[in-house]
Amino acid sequence: MDKIKQRLCGIQGRLFADSLKAGYESEPFIRGFMRSCVAKALDSEYNRMQWAGEAYLIEELQEEASIRMGEKAYDRESLFWMGYVYRYWHFYTGESSKDIVRIAPVRTLHKNYKEFRGQMQPDGLIDQLRESYFRKNPPKGEN
C-alpha cells in the first residue's frame, strides 16, 4: 500500500478515535459513518474530503447522519484500529464502506480487535472475515 493510502487509513483511524472525544456512542457512530456520503466520498478515487482532516469530517457527518451522544464507547486504541482497518479494507478489496460494514459489522470488527490486535496483518484478518461472511452468505447464483 502506498504512502497516500496509508495516510488516508490514519485519517480514518483518527476520525474514529476523535468520536470518543466528541462524546459519540461508538457503534452508531461507526455504522452511521460507514453508510454515509462522507465515507462514500473517501471511497472515491479522488475527493477533496480525503484531505479535509478529522474535525471537518466529523462536522460533515453531523450534518448528514443522526449519531447519538452517549456513554457506550470503545477505547481510543480500538477505535483507531477499527477506522484504520475499515479504510485499509476498502483499498485492499475495492469494496465500498457500506458493503464492508455489512460484511464485518462494528461488533464483529471490535471482537476481532480484542482477539487479534497485534497478532495479524489487516489483509489476513480481512480475508478471514470475508471468507466467513461469504461462506454463510454465498453470492446469488452460487451454491
How much is the average pLDDT of 38-45? 87
Confidence of residue 101 (pLDDT cuts 50, 70, 90): very high
**Count of CA atoms in the C-beta half-sphere (13 A) of 30:** 32
Q: What is the pLDDT of residues 17-35, one digit of tens each?
A: 999 988 889 999 999 999 9
How much is the average pLDDT of 31-50? 82
Whether 109 shows a pLDDT value over 90: the answer reads yes
C-alpha dist (Å) from residue 82 to 65, 135, 143: 19, 23, 32
**What proportion of the chain, given as a percentage, has pLDDT over 90?**
56
In this prediction, residue 135 carries a pLDDT of 95
In a domain, 143, yes or no: no
Question: CB-based burial of residue 115 (10 Å sphere; 0-12 exposed, 13-18 middle, 19+ buried)?
Answer: exposed
In a domain, 131, yes or no: yes
In a domain, 122, yes or no: yes
Per the structure, how many domains does the chain have?
1
Q: What is the pLDDT of residues 112-138, one digit of tens each?
A: 897 877 777 899 999 999 999 999 998
Which residue bears the cell 476523535? Answer: 18
In a domain, 112, yes or no: yes
In a domain, 142, yes or no: no
Domain with 83, as residue range(s), is 3-136
In a domain, 27, yes or no: yes
The Cβ of residue 5 has, within 10 Å, a number of other Cβ atoms equal to 14
How much is the average pLDDT of 41-51? 72
Residues in the chain: 143
Q: What is the pLDDT of residues 67-95, one digit of tens each?
A: 666 678 899 999 999 999 999 999 999 99
What is the distance between the alpha carbons of residues 6 and 52, in angstroms, rounded to a whole number? 15
